[in-house]
Amino acid sequence: MNNPDIQKLTDQELLQRYKADKDSEWIGVLFDRYALLMLGMCMKYLKNEEDARDAVQQIFLKVLSDLHKHEIQFFRAWIYQVTKNHCLMQLRQHHLKYKEEITDRSMDMAAEQTDTKAHQEKDILLENMEHALSQLNGEQRTCVELFYLQKQSYHQIADKTGFSLLQVKSYIQNGKRNLKLILEKQQRAKRS
């Protein structure tokens, strides 16, 4: 579903289409939008890229099986919470210590749902990431999206784009660095 018209659909429109025809491609489009954020969040909690990538795939499968059970108003905030909860459960299963010991998960979820400011900050973070990604040059954006969002290898990206393997690695490395710089610049501008 690389149709540009589909990319223009809102999250709510994609959810409605999925509920109407159960075509998982609609959810795939939503996941493409938020995969980089989810991967970043999983990396933050799990501290391991392979575990983070596995977690994103597990979350996708969970969402496909559980989506019909939920009435979702704001997909962005919802997928953020689902990702966070998944990571926290992974940490618990591996007996890792996490600085926020959660004793009653439902109480924590209820508190976060009532914290509108936290949801707004999360939305802003997502928008900043999307905006920063759009500011990369074409080669960097393409390589970063293929590597992180579509989980393609360096070789697959080189085959698909015609770039050399060295160029692909360079575009990904420079793209990551530039994303960080763009986000830091946005943060400084907001503080001023």
Q: Of 13-22, 90-99, 160-169, which has the strongest mean pLDDT? A: 160-169
Burial class (CB in 10 A: 0-12, 13-18, 19+), 167: middle
Q: Which of 130, 148, 132 is nearest to 184 (CA)?
A: 132
Q: Which residue has the higher pLDDT, 120 or 105?
A: 120
Q: What's the rounded Cα separation, in Å, for the pair 163 and 90?
A: 37
Torsion of CA 37, 39, 42, 46, to 10 degrees: -150
What proportion of the chain, given as a percentage, has pLDDT over 70? 81
Q: What's the rounded Cα separation, in Å, for the pair 30 and 48?
A: 24
What value, to the nearest 5°, has the Cα angle with vertex 57 and ends 52 and 58? Answer: 95
The whole-number pLDDT of residue 116 equals 61
Out of 3.40.50.2300, 1.10.1740.10, 1.10.3720.10, 3.40.50.300, which CATH number does the structure's domain 1-115 have? 1.10.1740.10
Domain with CATH 1.10.10.10 in the chain: 136-192
Q: Is the pLDDT of residue 97 over 70?
A: no
Helices (H), 22-148: 24-46, 49-66, 75-93, 105-114, 116-135, 138-144
Q: Which of 190, 45, 57 is nearest to 125 (CA)?
A: 190
Model pTM score? 0.47
Domain with CATH 1.10.1740.10 in the chain: 1-115
* Class of CATH domain 136-192: mainly alpha
Q: Which residue has the higher pLDDT, 115 or 9?
A: 9
